[in-house]
Amino acid sequence: MTTLDLTKLPDYLKHQRWFSGKAWPIKHVTVMDHATIEAGGCAFSLAVVEVVYELGSPERYLLPVQPSTDGVRDALENDACMRGLFDLIRTGGHVASAAGRVEGEWIAGQEGLLALPSPLSVRRLQVEQSNTSVVLGEQVILKIIRKLEAGVNPEHEVGRFLATRTSFRATPSLLGALHLEGTAGATLAVAHRFVPDATDGWKYTLDRLREERAVGERFLSEMRDLGMRVGELHLAFASASDEDPAFAPEPLLQEDLQRWSASIVGELGVTLADASRQTPDLERGRETLIEHAKRLAQVTPSGQKIRIHGDLHLGQVLRAQGQWLIFDFEGEPARSFTARREKYSALRDVAGMIRSFDYAEATVALEGGTPHDRAGAIREAFVDGYRQVTRGAAFLPSDEGAFDVMLRAFELEKLLYEVRYELQNRPDWVRIPVQALLRMEAAQ
């Protein structure tokens, strides 16, 4: 490895926006594995380090670095180094590391060898806090994963499944990836097709709600289309055969419903204990909410558990050329890879998107706009589109009553998560999920 001053790493990490451990004293930093990358006239070290804190669990990070007079600097600030990293992916190359090897993977085939300009343009994005993303040649978006976790990376796994095993194309296609094989093994980077002139669904929806006093048929038609895309995604997930155990659908059992129900009841108790201090009215409806959660356990099991998006909301879809694209299959960052890869009811994704509509309407109201109760019409259009393409699908409940009970329970689960998040991070926003809980109480 290129000589690095390891004593400088704690200070270096503290100044990186993607480093999540800024609040905790660092005990020491250890290099777990490293490789020297030499490509495009650039040489740098690709190191996986473990950060051990005075308190709490250790974390692993990817450091593409070069030595400097200050100790180390980020090699990916150098365009040549960035091109060299991508070239390793595009050529399917490999480089030995101290404890294994770094391997590039290009799954797009010959047709995916895009006619990229030379020299390859490099445009860094500043929208992410936890990773580093760059647009290459305005055709590829490369995400370098900074905080690493052992195990199968769900974003790579799902992207590869959709690209190679299904006909679902309403997503920026996965082109390739970079992996570290060995004792510190992890997926280090993923490359997708870049979608130019795309607007994320959150911004798109907010703009429409700001402009329109009442949602028109055109916007509702777009929401039906979004529901159809989500339904098609679930159909693609459910198409896996038994030969692909990571994706093959599994029967939905009574014990699954009971486990999910018990989890929601437990979350409800903890969440209401905190939220009721600000909103005492919530406590009066506790039994009604508990009943919503318990009904989930009483549903006659039908349908299947499948892989789902796992963190679906308006910020995880793009609007481009009049079409919806679904992206970011990383899952909820706070959950482990194992938990993110768990099969679940598809209605959990549906509930996540429905809650996003309510947030969009409430956000416009918080900005000073007049609330017009448009979320209900948007929800109806979205669910209508979803049901249109999934009617009769084996992974959904076999009757309407079970569909409604399960969807309401998963909405409640999402609401409780939102209340806890807002209490911890944005107390002024907690009124959004609290008001939705009060409406759920009243709709017994």
pLDDT digits (tens, 9 = 90+) for 47-95: 999 999 999 899 999 999 988 877 789 999 999 999 999 999 999 999 9
With a threshold of 0.85, does the pTM exceed it? yes
How large is the average pLDDT for residues 225-243? 97
Nearest to 63, CA basis, from 125, 130, 180, 147: 147
pLDDT digits (tens, 9 = 90+) for 136-187: 999 999 999 999 998 899 999 999 999 999 999 999 999 999 999 998 899 9
pLDDT digits (tens, 9 = 90+) for 37-47: 998 789 999 99
Strand-strand pairing, 250-251 and 304-305: antiparallel
pLDDT-derived band at 365 (thresholds 50, 70, 90) equals: confident
- Tell me the pLDDT of the chain averaged across its residues: 92
How large is the average pLDDT for residues 99-125? 84
pLDDT digits (tens, 9 = 90+) for 368-394: 766 667 999 999 999 999 999 999 999
> What gap in Å lies between CA 352 and CA 199, rounded to an integer?
20
**What is the per-residue pLDDT for 368?**
78
Q: Collect contacts of 337-342 with beta carbons under 8 A, ≥24 apart.
A: 337/149, 337/150, 337/151, 337/152, 337/153, 337/154, 338/151, 340/154, 340/310, 341/152, 341/154, 341/157, 341/246, 341/307
Q: How far is CA 438 from CA 12, 379, 392, 402, 409, in A?
A: 47, 18, 33, 23, 15
The CATH class, in words, for 199-442 is alpha beta
Only one residue has tokens 């669910």, namely: 383
Q: Domain ranges for the chain, please list them.
A: 6-193, 199-442
Structure tokens at 248: 């093959």
Q: Is the pLDDT of residue 226 over 60?
A: yes
Structure tokens at 171: 């997503």
Q: Is the pLDDT of residue 260 over 70?
A: yes
How large is the average pLDDT for residues 395-412? 96
| Cβ(64)–Cβ(52) below 8 Å | no
pLDDT-derived band at 1 (thresholds 50, 70, 90) equals: very low
| Angle between helical axes of 217-238 and 375-390 (0-180°, round to 10) | 40
Share of the chain above pLDDT 90, in %: 77
SS (H, E, C) the chain: CCCCCHHHHHHHHHCCCCCCCCCCCEEEEEEEEEEEEEECCEEEEEEEEEEEECCCCCEEEEEEEEEECCEEEEHHHCHHHHHHHHHHHHCCCEEECCCEEEEEEECCCHHHCCCCCCCCCEEECCCCCCEEEEEECCCEEEEEECEECCCCCHHHHHHHHHHHHCCCCCCCCEEEEEEEEECCCEEEEEEEECCCCCEEHHHHHHHHHHHCCCCCHHHHHHHHHHHHHHHHHHHHHHCCCCCCCCCCCEECCHHHHHHHHHHHHHHHHHHHHHHCCCCCHHHHCHHHHHHHHHHHHHCCCCCEEECCCCCCCHHHEEEECCEEEECCCCCCCCCCHHHHCCCECCHHHHHHHHHHHHHHHHHHHHCCCCCCCCHHHHHHHHHHHHHHHHCCCCCCCCCHHHHHHHHHHHHHHHHHHHHHHHHHHCHHHCHHHHHHHHHHHHCC
pLDDT-derived band at 334 (thresholds 50, 70, 90) equals: confident
Q: Is the pLDDT of residue 3 over 60?
A: no
| Cβ(231)–Cβ(306) below 8 Å | no
Share of the chain above pLDDT 70, in %: 96
Q: Is the pLDDT of residue 361 over 50?
A: yes
Beta carbons within 8 Å of 14's beta carbon, 6+ residues apart: 22, 26
**What is the per-residue pLDDT for 203?**
96
**What is the per-residue pLDDT for 276?**
85
Q: Is the pLDDT of residue 238 over 90?
A: yes
Q: Is the pLDDT of residue 295 over 50?
A: yes
pLDDT digits (tens, 9 = 90+) for 20-29: 999 899 999 9
pLDDT digits (tens, 9 = 90+) for 186-216: 999 999 999 999 999 999 999 999 988 788 8
